[in-house]
């Protein structure tokens, strides 16, 4: 809902009509209007319906408030004017309607009637529901036309645009061709010429208009020409084209119209995006298919070319192994067997790739023969049993003979089953493998199930995809081309069968093949081809060979200076693992591991001098092993060489960037590998030598030396550092919070802050507390500096450490002694001194608050009283103190030297010492919070503090004696405390707590009707000023009792003050109050004027009887004045200490006092006195004595 801006509203129509000079219009004065006209106008103005009345021949316009927004800027100019002048743009439409009603006398109505109207600065297309009705005058003629209108522009335009959007969505549904989409969209939009007079869709690449290209590049709408809007048609993250619209000039460009155009562009963009995405997906699928075919063809071509060299490799090896005339020796036989096994494995991979090519070309067709599939499957599985048994698994067969033969290609079926069994052994680390054959009606089902690692759910649909390998699958080996299961599926399909897989990670996997019985030729039962089985068996044996390899160590001639260094070979392929062990074992001691986990276990048991690791292995691969070694400070310097089948610069950069010392690509020559191993070992030996030299140099330092990383973890330390902290290098690394950090929670936040600030700021020097491993608290000075990062990018800090416990303790002692003295200097009373002393003594040794006891002065008595506990927190008695404390306190009193109480280990539990006081004998006891070592210097410090404590206590006792004398003097010289009715006095000395000073007051009853009041202020304060004040007060009382008036009294005191040292320039205000007459006679010797406040709040300063202070020479007599005291008025006499403030004049202070007296005048005098002291005296204390005297003149009813 829009709030009305009342300040900017036009006057309503009633006010406008009342203010309009109608005599200047065609209607004439309102008094002369036709009654029908007046009646219609009254009805119209009170209605909320949009109404306009056209009256008379000139069709003079009158309308109501509801109609005014309809004509926009024409209001209020249109009121009282001929319609032709204000509706000229639509007069050709409006006038015929009005003339029709006037001429026929009949009403006219219509819905959504179009009117072109200019109301907002442009000719606008609008629609209205209208009802034009004649207004008949008394003569029977039509005097005017009353028009009731309701604007429907928004609804008409909205429905029209929704029809266009709906038609657009319907016509574009299902279209996927970009050009067809643009054609259909342009045709739909052309059907709405009212909103879209001209429209075009320009697709990128087909239009070189620079303005449209700019819209496409920016992705934002623009106006390439006046009246033409270009909107980008977005497709995914790019622009597919531009929608160009010539806008209707009779519609406001903005608001709903612009939203409609944006919706059109968004709808077309969505369809284009879908079409582009589908087209890209089709192109991507076509490209992938082409790539797959190209890859298969490439592999097939390579495989054809590999057959000849494979034959020349495998053939001589087979001949040599079967040569009975010249059989090879044991070492040569091992090498030939290695060649034969891997040549057979390579031949099988070549055959698989060629089979794919033959399948795709249709050249590979099965030759099915009738087979007892149960028996044949059983025979194949049993041929693979040795590999299953060697893997430590159980082979379970359920392969009964079948009633009907199944027609299969026996060689293909063997490859299918051996492939599944081989995978089961590879990915089953424990448990069993089950092979099951069963009849399912017209089909036969064969299932190979295992209890292996299982397959993740998202990987199952990808298993039969060519060249796909399940990442992170684990198992006994990571070797494989990713075509085995894809070939199995193709071979099964050639038999019109299906293969399915179910798997649960951690539980196992089951492959189920279903085949029809089929048809074909009958053949006698044959055995399993041995060569095919041997190939699979050799590969499976490689996964399960143990790690004991004969290395036949030789003279290690090629090892050079690296002889004796140990090498760990990590390789999952048993043949390559054995080959590397034999090759390197001739030069260095070698141990082997089949995967990363085994390697880490061996490294923890015994760190090798070099690790040679394959990259691709089950479980923890080569990169994972490398990261684990580099992440452990104990192994981060072990050199690592990575072996990988991935060739190329990028692969080598990846390995070296990960932290490898070298990267060797398979295949490699033996001499090359030996040279790289020797080179890496030699560099490692030099680094080790340099590291040892550096360690020896660092250990020779007397200061502690250490390094930490960016997280604050201590990576290394020298021997001195371990000696200082009590924690050696054997515990590295040490991560925060360090074991030597104090456990005090109060220090935790500070130590964390210091460490964070040092690491963030690049270092610094800090002195911190520490706790050694033996429990002793020490202080250390640490200097930390940032150094350039290591090769792996880690930030490193180096630091030095030195024990500064003695220096810190000395500084603490100095600080304690200074603080102790300052704390005692700030207090004066005995209780204050005792409280400060016991707290500081306890704080000095981080112990509990001290206990102070005293003995009676007379120690010669046969039955002396028990010592008195003067101070303790919490309060206690002598009897409740621990016995060891009482013994120590008595010993300290008698020997006059500190007494230390220790435990069995010699650690101090507390200390007692005498306080050097005159009397009575006093001693202090400090219990320690923890047993601690107390050096001799701390005993001297305790003795010195006890001496300070005793002196301060003696001073406090003397001070309190002086205070007693002062209080006695105070009572003797200050004014009376028993005052006549209506009086109140207050005195605040500047020197606390001695309540005496130079200011005084006096109230003296002269007779039944008169009372004398005096307020004076001597120069100075304290006892000296009080002595002068006492003599002046006594002289003043004597003179007043002789009935001397105020002025004569001051004159007499002038002579006395001249003779009295310290009385010069004393100010004094003396007055005599006549209660019965209500009169005050006064004279002032330079004193601040008294203040009188009447019961109504009027105030007066009594400054007419003022002259110079006492004993100051003057040429004239003392002045005297009088003032009437009205009933209920309040009189205030005071000294300047009440109104003086720094930075403020005395007049300002007196004005504040008068205002405070006026505000509080309803209170009784005693309450007013308290209020004035609170409101007028500074909160931080005052430098001058203050005396206040108040008097209330009686006689006003209801006033105290």
Note the pLDDT tens digit of each residue in 743-774: 777 677 777 788 888 887 767 788 888 888 88
pLDDT of 957 higher than 50: yes
Q: How confident is the model at residue 516 (pLDDT cuts 50, 70, 90)?
A: very high
Q: How confident is the model at residue 553 (pLDDT cuts 50, 70, 90)?
A: very low
| Alpha helix stretches (DSSP H) within 826-855 | 830-844
- Break the chain down into helix, strand, coil percent, rounded to 5: 45, 25, 35
Choice among 192-201, 329-338, 889-898, 903-912 with the minimum mean pLDDT: 329-338
Task: Give a yes or no: residue 236 inside a domain.
Answer: no
Mean pLDDT of 875-889: 88
Note the pLDDT tens digit of each residue in 320-330: 777 777 888 88
Q: What's the whole-model pTM score?
A: 0.40
Structural contact between residues 757 and 784, judged by C-beta atoms closer than 8 angstroms: no
Mean pLDDT of 1028-1041: 88
Residues 814 and 786 grouped into a single domain = no
Q: State the pLDDT at residue 348.
A: 73
Note the pLDDT tens digit of each residue in 1051-1077: 999 989 888 888 899 999 999 999 999
1072: number of Cβ within 10 Å: 22
Report residue 1132 as tokens: 């205030």
Q: How many domains does the chain have?
A: 6
Q: State the pLDDT at residue 545.
A: 55
pLDDT of 483 higher than 80: no
Q: How far apart are CA 393 and CA 851, in angstroms?
A: 81
Mean pLDDT of 475-485: 72
Q: How far apart are CA 244 and CA 1150, in angstroms?
A: 86
Residues 901 and 992 grouped into a single domain = no
Return the CATH number at 493. 3.30.565.10
Return the CATH number at 746. 3.30.450.20
Strand ranges for 908-1039 from DSSP E: 908-915, 922-932, 983-988, 999-1005, 1010-1017
Residues 424 and 404 grouped into a single domain = yes
Residues 1118 and 1045 grouped into a single domain = yes
Element (H, E) at 37: helix 35-45
- Which carries the bigger pLDDT value, residue 1137 or residue 321? 1137
pLDDT of 523 higher than 90: no
Spatial neighbors of 690 by CB under 8 A, at least 6 apart, are none
Residues 949 and 1026 grouped into a single domain = no
Task: Give a yes or no: residue 837 inside a domain.
Answer: yes
Task: Identify which of 387, 398, 376, 484 has the alpha carbon closest to the alpha carbon of residue 447.
Answer: 398
Task: Identify which of 362, 361, 451, 446 has the alpha carbon closest to the alpha carbon of residue 408.
Answer: 446
Return the CATH number at 839. 3.30.450.40
Q: State the pLDDT at residue 590.
A: 93
Return the CATH number at 598. 3.40.50.2300
Residues 1167 and 1058 grouped into a single domain = yes
Last residue of a domain, one of 964, 993, 1019: 964
Q: State the pLDDT at residue 500.
A: 93
Residues 728 and 828 grouped into a single domain = no
Q: How confident is the model at residue 557 (pLDDT cuts 50, 70, 90)?
A: very low
Note the pLDDT tens digit of each residue in 653-701: 787 888 888 888 888 778 888 888 988 888 888 887 777 777 777 777 7
Q: State the pLDDT at residue 792.
A: 55
Report residue 396 as tokens: 């379970």
Last residue of a domain, one of 771, 799, 827: 799
Q: How confident is the model at residue 538 (pLDDT cuts 50, 70, 90)?
A: low
- Which carries the bigger pLDDT value, residue 9 or residue 1120? 1120
Task: Give a yes or no: residue 115 inside a domain.
Answer: yes
Residues 783 and 814 grouped into a single domain = no
Q: How far apart are CA 237 and CA 273, in angstroms?
A: 9
Element (H, E) at 543: helix 530-544
Residues 991 and 1128 grouped into a single domain = yes
pLDDT, the chain, mean:
82
Choice among 70-74, 227-231, 937-941, 976-980 with the minimum mean pLDDT: 227-231
Task: Give a yes or no: residue 241 inside a domain.
Answer: no
Task: Identify which of 438, 432, 423, 407 has the alpha carbon closest to the alpha carbon of residue 513.
Answer: 438
Task: Identify which of 515, 512, 529 has the alpha carbon closest to the alpha carbon of residue 410.
Answer: 529
Residues 27 and 122 grouped into a single domain = yes
Residues 612 and 732 grouped into a single domain = no
Please give the share of the chain, as a percent, with pLDDT higher than 70: 86
Task: Give a yes or no: residue 295 inside a domain.
Answer: no
Q: How far apart are CA 42 and CA 31, in angstroms?
A: 14
Q: State the pLDDT at residue 498.
A: 93
Q: State the pLDDT at residue 480.
A: 65
Task: Give a yes or no: residue 440 inside a domain.
Answer: yes
Q: Which residues of 728-763 are buried (b: 16+ CB within 10 A; e: fewer)?
A: ebeebebeeebebbeeeeeeeeebeebbeebbeeeb
Q: State the pLDDT at residue 2.
A: 33
Residues 998 and 1057 grouped into a single domain = yes
Mean pLDDT of 174-189: 84
Q: State the pLDDT at residue 610.
A: 94
Q: State the pLDDT at residue 1078.
A: 93
Q: State the pLDDT at residue 1121.
A: 95
Q: State the pLDDT at residue 502.
A: 92
Task: Give a yes or no: residue 253 inside a domain.
Answer: no
Choice among 227-236, 558-567, 964-973, 1088-1097 with the minimum mean pLDDT: 964-973
Last residue of a domain, one of 83, 117, 151: 151
Note the pLDDT tens digit of each residue in 614-630: 988 887 888 899 999 98
Q: State the pLDDT at residue 1041.
A: 86
Q: How far apart are CA 1090 and CA 1084, in angstroms?
A: 9
Mean pLDDT of 847-871: 74
Q: State the pLDDT at residue 530.
A: 47
Domain that holds residue 43: 11-151
pLDDT of 917 higher than 70: no
Task: Give a yes or no: residue 347 inside a domain.
Answer: no
Q: State the pLDDT at residue 1129.
A: 95
Structural contact between residues 437 and 400, judged by C-beta atoms closer than 8 angstroms: yes
CA atoms within 13 A of residue 635's CA, in its CB half-sphere: 22
């Amino acid at each position: 809902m829009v709030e009305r801006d009342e300040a900017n509203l036009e006057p309503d129509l009633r006010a406008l009509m009342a203010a309009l000079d109608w005599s200047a219009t065609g209607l004439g004065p309102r008094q002369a209007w036709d009654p029908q006209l007046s009646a219609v106008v009254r009805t119209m103005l009170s209605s909320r319906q949009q109404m306009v009345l056209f009256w008379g021949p000139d069709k003079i316009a009158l309308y109501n408030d509801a109609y005014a927004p309809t004509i926009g800027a024409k209001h209020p100019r249109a009121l009282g004017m001929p319609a032709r002048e204000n509706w000229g743009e639509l007069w050709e439409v409006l006038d015929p309607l009005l003339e029709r009603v006037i001429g026929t006398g009949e009403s006219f109505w219509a819905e959504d009637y179009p009117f072109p109207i200019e109301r907002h600065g442009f000719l606008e297309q609008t629609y209205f529901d209208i009802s034009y009705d004649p207004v008949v005058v008394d003569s029977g003629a039509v005097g005017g036309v009353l028009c009731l209108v309701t604007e429907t522009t928004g609804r008409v335009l909205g429905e029209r645009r929704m029809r266009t959007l709906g038609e657009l969505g319907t016509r574009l549904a299902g279209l996927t061709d970009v050009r067809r989409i643009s054609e259909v969209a342009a045709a739909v939009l052309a059907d709405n010429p009212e909103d879209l007079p001209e429209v075009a869709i320009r697709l990128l690449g087909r239009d070189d208009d620079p303005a449209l290209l700019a819209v496409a590049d920016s992705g934002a709408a623009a106006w390439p020409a006046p009246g033409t809007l270009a909107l980008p048609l977005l497709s995914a993250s790019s622009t597919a084209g531009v929608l160009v619209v010539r806008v209707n000039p009779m519609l406001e460009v903005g608001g709903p119209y612009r939203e409609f155009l944006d919706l059109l562009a968004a709808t077309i963009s969505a369809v284009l995006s879908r079409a582009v995405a589908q087209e890209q997906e089709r192109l991507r699928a076509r490209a992938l298919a082409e790539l797959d075919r190209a890859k298969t063809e490439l592999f097939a071509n390579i495989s054809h070319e590999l057959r000849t060299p494979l034959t020349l490799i495998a053939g001589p090896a087979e001949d040599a192994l079967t040569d009975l005339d010249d059989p090879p020796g044991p070492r040569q036989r091992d090498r030939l067997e290695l060649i034969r096994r891997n040549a057979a494995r390579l031949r099988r991979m070549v055959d698989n790739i060629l089979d794919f090519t033959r399948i795709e070309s249709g050249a590979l067709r099965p030759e099915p023969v009738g087979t007892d599939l149960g028996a044949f499957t059983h025979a194949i599985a049993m041929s693979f049993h040795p590999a299953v048994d060697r893997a430590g698994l159980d082979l379970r067969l359920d392969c009964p003979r079948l009633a009907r033969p199944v027609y299969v290609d026996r060689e293909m079926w063997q490859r299918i089953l051996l492939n599944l069994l081989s995978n089961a052994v590879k990915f089953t680390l424990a448990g069993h493998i089950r092979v099951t054959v069963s009849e399912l009606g017209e089909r036969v089902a064969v299932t190979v199930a295992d209890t292996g690692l299982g397959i993740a759910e998202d990987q199952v649909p990808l298993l039969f995809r060519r060249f796909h390998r399940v990442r992170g699958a684990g198992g006994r080996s990571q070797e494989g081309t990713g075509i085995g299961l894809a070939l199995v599926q193709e071979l099964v399909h050639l038999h019109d069968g299906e293969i399915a897989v179910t798997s649960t990670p951690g539980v196992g996997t089951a492959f189920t093949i279903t085949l029809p019985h089929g048809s074909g030729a009958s053949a006698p039962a044959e055995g399993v081809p041995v060569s095919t089985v041997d190939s699979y068996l050799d590969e499976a044996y490689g996964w399960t060979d143990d790690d004991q390899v004969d290395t036949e160590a030789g003279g290690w001639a090629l090892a050079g200076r690296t002889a004796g260094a140990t090498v760990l070979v990590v390789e999952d392929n048993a043949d390559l693992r054995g080959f590397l062990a034999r090759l390197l074992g001739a030069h260095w001691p070698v141990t082997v591991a089949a995967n990363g986990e085994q390697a880490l276990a061996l490294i923890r048991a015994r760190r090798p001098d070099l690790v040679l690791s394959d990259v691709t292995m089950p479980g923890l691969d080569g990169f994972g092993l490398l990261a684990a070694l580099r992440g452990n400070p104990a192994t981060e310097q072990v050199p690592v060489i990575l072996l990988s089948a991935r060739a190329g610069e990028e692969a080598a950069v990846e390995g070296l960037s990960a932290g490898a010392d070298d990267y060797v690509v398979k295949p490699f020559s033996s001499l090359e590998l030996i040279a790289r191993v020797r080179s890496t070992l030699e560099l490692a030996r030099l680094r080790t030598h340099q590291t040892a030299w550096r360690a020896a140099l660092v250990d020779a330092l007397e200061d502690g030396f250490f390094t930490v990383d960016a997280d604050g973890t201590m990576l290394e330390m020298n021997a001195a550092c371990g000696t200082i902290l009590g924690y050696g290098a054997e515990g590295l690394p040490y991560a925060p919070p360090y074991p030597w950090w104090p456990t005090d929670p109060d220090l935790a936040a500070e130590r964390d802050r210091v460490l964070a600030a040092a690491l963030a700021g690049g270092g610094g020097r800090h002195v911190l507390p520490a706790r050694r491993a033996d429990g002793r608290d020490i202080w250390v000075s640490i200097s930390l500096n940032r150094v350039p990062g290591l090769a792996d990018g880690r930030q490193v800090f180096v630091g030095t450490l030195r024990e500064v416990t003695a220096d810190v303790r000395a500084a603490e002692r100095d600080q304690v002694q200074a603080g102790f003295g300052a704390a005692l200097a700030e207090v004066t009373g005995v209780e204050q001194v005792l409280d400060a002393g016991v707290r500081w003594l306890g704080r000095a040794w981080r112990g509990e608050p001290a206990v102070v006891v005293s003995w009676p002065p007379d120690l010669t008595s046969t039955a002396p009283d028990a010592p008195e506990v003067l101070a303790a927190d919490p309060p206690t008695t002598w009897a409740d103190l621990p016995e060891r404390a009482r013994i120590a306190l008595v010993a300290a009193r008698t020997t006059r030297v500190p007494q230390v109480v220790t435990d069995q280990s010699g650690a101090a539990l507390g200390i007692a010492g005498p306080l050097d006081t005159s009397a009575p004998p006093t001693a202090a006891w400090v219990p320690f919070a923890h047993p601690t070592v107390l050096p001799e210097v701390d005993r001297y410090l305790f003795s010195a503090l006890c001496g300070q404590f005793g002196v301060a206590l003696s001073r406090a006792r003397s001070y309190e004696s002086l205070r007693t004398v002062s209080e006695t003097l105070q009572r003797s010289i200050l004014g009376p405390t028993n005052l006549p009715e209506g009086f109140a006095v207050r005195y605040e000395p500047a020197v606390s707590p001695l309540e005496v000073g130079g200011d005084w007051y006096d109230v003296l009853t002269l007779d039944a009707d008169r009372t004398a009041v005096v307020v004076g202020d001597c120069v100075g304060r304290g006892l000296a000023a009080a002595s002068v004040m006492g003599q002046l007060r006594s002289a003043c009382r004597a003179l007043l009792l002789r009935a001397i008036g105020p002025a004569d009294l001051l004159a007499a005191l002038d002579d006395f003050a001249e003779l009295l040292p310290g009385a010069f320039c004393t100010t004094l205000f003396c007055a005599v109050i006549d209660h019965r007459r209500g009169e005050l006679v006064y004279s002032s010797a330079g004193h601040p004027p008294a203040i009188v406040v009447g019961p109504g709040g009027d105030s007066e300063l009594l400054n007419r009887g003022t002259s110079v202070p006492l004993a100051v020479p003057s040429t004239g007599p003392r002045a005297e004045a009088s003032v009437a005291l009205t009933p209920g008025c309040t009189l205030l006499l005071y000294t300047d200490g009440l109104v003086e403030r720094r930075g403020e004049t005395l007049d300002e202070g007196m004005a504040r006092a008068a205002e405070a007296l006026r505000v509080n005048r309803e209170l009784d005098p005693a309450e007013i006195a308290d209020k004035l002291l609170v409101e007028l005296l500074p909160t931080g204390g005052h430098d001058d004595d203050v005396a206040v005297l108040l008097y209330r003149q009686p006689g006003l009813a209801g006033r105290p």
